[in-house]
Amino acid sequence: MISIKSEREIELMRYAGHINYLAHEELKKHIKPGTTTEQLDKIAYDFIIKHECVPSCLGYEGFPKSICVSINDEVVHGIPGKRKIKNGDIVSIDFCVRYKGYESDSARTYIIGNVNPEVEALVENTKKALQIGLSKVKSGVKIGDISHAIEEFAHKKGLSVVEDLVGHGIGTNMHEEPDVPNFGKEGTGIVLKPGMTLSIEPMLTLGRKEVCLTDQDDWVIVTEDESLAAHFEHTVLVTEEGYEILTGE
Ligand code: MF3
Ligand code: CO
């Protein structure tokens, strides 16, 4: 069942999304060489709690921290720890914020210092892929229209689309129906209706699309060929005319 949110529920998701956005903005100030990923985790935890929200990744299916920090060939679900950010890294930050039972989910990838133009293009084009996916969203459109637009753009830019991880509906649960794949055919899948809320999240790589777990833990997902990966995500509300980003400015 795909839930249609009431105006009251949307209001709660707006607040959760706004705090998610502001927490990303706070983190941005600290994402630089020498900062450890657990320092970032603490900053996010404190910020989210201070704003009367819950860092809902913490404890989700046993995830041990409040945010996911995934560096270079890590695609998602990196666990904050002693690792220091360094010049030349690309760092993806992904987390959920809950307010009065309602979730928001957003991710960004940062370039640290100097990287080659190919890496810059990976990050820029993953961000654009999200914008292109978002631009398709409106009442009456099908999920496959979003998926196809993201895939077509990624391939045009010579990037691979991770297929093992997908975007999702969101609401009282972090992951709800429907799946929102970053690949697929136009005109397929469920029809979007006003009041649906989705997390759209392209994950693109410079190499091949295959990903796997490491033997370090049960969480971090890396590219099999160790190529770099980028990830951008917003939570959006479907409206009659288009969409409203809930995790934006
Ligand atoms: N945005 C991530 C996702 O959709 C959030 C994961 S929280 C975690 O999978 F607890 F699983 F890390
Ligand atoms: Co998500």
Q: Is the CB of 234 under 6 A from ligand 1?
A: no
Q: Of all protein residues, whose CA lies closest to atom 7 belonging to ligand 1?
A: 57
| Cβ-based neighbours of 234, under 8 Å, separated by 6 or more | 106, 130, 134, 199, 200, 201, 245, 246, 247, 248
DSSP code at position 110: E
Q: Is the CB of 110 under 6 A from ligand 1?
A: no
The reply to whether 237 falls in a domain is yes
Spell out which residues have Cβ within 5 A of ligand 2, the ion. 105, 199
The reply to whether 1 falls in a domain is no
Q: How far is the centre of ligand 1, averaged over its atoms, from the C-alpha of 95 (Å)?
A: 6
Total structural domains within the chain: 1
The reply to whether 2 falls in a domain is no
The reply to whether 112 falls in a domain is yes
Which residue range forms the structural domain that includes residue 15? 7-245
The reply to whether 26 falls in a domain is yes
CATH of the domain at 127: 3.90.230.10
Q: Of all protein residues, whose CA lies closest to atom 5 belonging to ligand 1?
A: 95
By C-alpha distance, which of 152, 53, 144 is closest to 105? 53
Beta sheet of 229-231, edge-to-edge order:
160-161, 203-205, 229-231
Beta sheet of 197-200, edge-to-edge order:
176-180, 167-169, 197-200, 234-238, 243-245
pLDDT of the chain, 249 residues: tens digit per residue: 899 999 999 999 999 999 999 999 999 999 999 999 999 999 999 999 999 999 999 999 999 999 999 999 999 999 999 999 999 999 999 999 999 999 999 999 999 999 999 999 999 999 999 999 999 999 999 999 999 999 999 999 999 999 999 999 999 999 999 999 999 999 999 999 999 999 999 999 999 999 999 988 999 999 999 999 999 999 999 999 999 999 998
Q: Is the CB of 63 under 6 A from ligand 1?
A: yes
pTM over 0.85: yes
